[in-house]
Each structure stands twice: as C-alpha cells, then as structure tokens.
Amino acid sequence: MTHLGIDYGSKMAGTTAISYLRDNKIKVRQSVKNKDADAFILSTVEEIKPEKIFLDAPLSLPAAFYNKGDNYFYRACDKKLKAMSPMFLGGLTARAMRLASILTKQDIQVIECYPKALVHIDTKLLPLYQKKNLSTLPEFCKILKSKIDYPISELLNWHQVDAVIAWWSGNRYQKNTAEIIGDEEEGQIIF
C-alpha cells in the first residue's frame, strides 16, 4: 500500500517535505520557498497516487467547539502528548483540515501523525532530536536509517527528517504496531 509522510510547514516558506517509498528506497521532496506548499502536495499526490497520507499537522479541533467539554485549546491527544494546540497553530490547522477534505474526496485517507512522539519513545534518537541545531542531524539520520527497513535518501534538514518519520509512523500504522493516542470522535494522533 502506497503512503506518504508529510511534514507540513507554512504555505510559502519552503518547509513542507514529503517522504515516500519508490524503487525500494525512501525518497524525499521539499517545497520551494515562495511557492504554494499545498499545490506542491496536491501535485505530488497526483503523481504518486497514495492510498494514505500521514500528515504532521492537526486535523481536528478540540471537542468544546462541538459542545462537548470546555477545553477550547487542546484535544485529549494534544494534552497527553504535550503537543501544540491546534488553536495556537491556527492557519496551519485550517489549511491541514482543508487539504484533508480535498484528499478525502479523492478517496485518500489522511491520518494525523506526530513525529516528535515517535522520537520520544526511542532513547537513542531523542537526545539528538535538536531541531534548531543541524550539527546533530548526521548522527540522528544514521540511527534513523538503522531503524527503517529501506535505504533513505540523504536528508538535508529537520523538515525532511520529520517527513521520513511521518512515513515511518505510517509504516508502523499499516503493520499495526503504531501507537494511537486520543479520542476517535475528537481526534487521534498516531506514531
């Protein structure tokens, strides 16, 4: 089953990265600064035709918006994983939900993932996951490559790393080894 892992960034910043398996190798693409990241994703989807997408972005709002509970800032999954609030991420959350709606109409399942959560359960990866520091990137990638069953293209930045981890989360999900946190009605995060 073909799936994509996506690290979802700002629309025009050139920080959205997509990871996928082709020719038995994990490959990565990244959006270009000043070009629409959502158009980049839709173009890649058109070319690769995945069945599932594992997206590192909130895909739902807190239940309070649907008259269930009183927490308007966090979903249960966000609280449990100490993730950012979908409300704090605002426009990115709205874009992600819109993108998921478009893709769902194309019969592509979009599943929220959180690469940081997967890194946090690995004692070798965690100390090296320093996203403001490129100096730890080579060692992190070396360990990451040892954990995935396929060779991985060279990773040039943390956005590309997170896209590969999103792909890895999707691979774990399809093998029924992923962890799933949250409420099915409100929103879940897999890793």
Residue 185 lies in a domain: no
**95 pLDDT above the threshold of 90:** yes
Question: Is residue 75 situated within a structural domain?
Answer: no
Domain that holds residue 112: 3-57+83-175
Q: What is the mean pLDDT of residues 107-135?
A: 96
Quick check: is 73 in a domain?
Answer: no
Is 181 among the domain residues? no
* Domains held by the chain: number: 1
Q: What is the pLDDT of residues 152-179, one digit of tens each?
A: 999 999 999 999 999 999 999 999 999 9
Q: Looking at residue 39, which CATH number applies to its domain?
A: 3.30.420.10
Kindly indicate the confidence band of residue 184, based on its pLDDT and cuts at 50, 70 and 90. Answer: very high
Asked if residue 27 belongs to a domain, the reply is yes
Confidence of residue 23 (pLDDT cuts 50, 70, 90): very high
* Both tokens assigned to 5: 């892992």
Give CA–CA dist 172/39, Å, rounded. Answer: 27
Task: Decide if 67 is inside a domain.
Answer: no
pLDDT at 130 over 90: yes
Long-range contacts of 178-182 (CB under 8 A, 24+ apart): 179/117, 179/121, 181/76, 181/77, 181/80, 181/81, 181/117, 182/75, 182/76, 182/77, 182/80
1-11, pLDDT tens digit by residue? 799 999 999 99
pLDDT of the residue at 58: 98
d(CA 104, CA 50): 12
Average pLDDT along the chain:
97
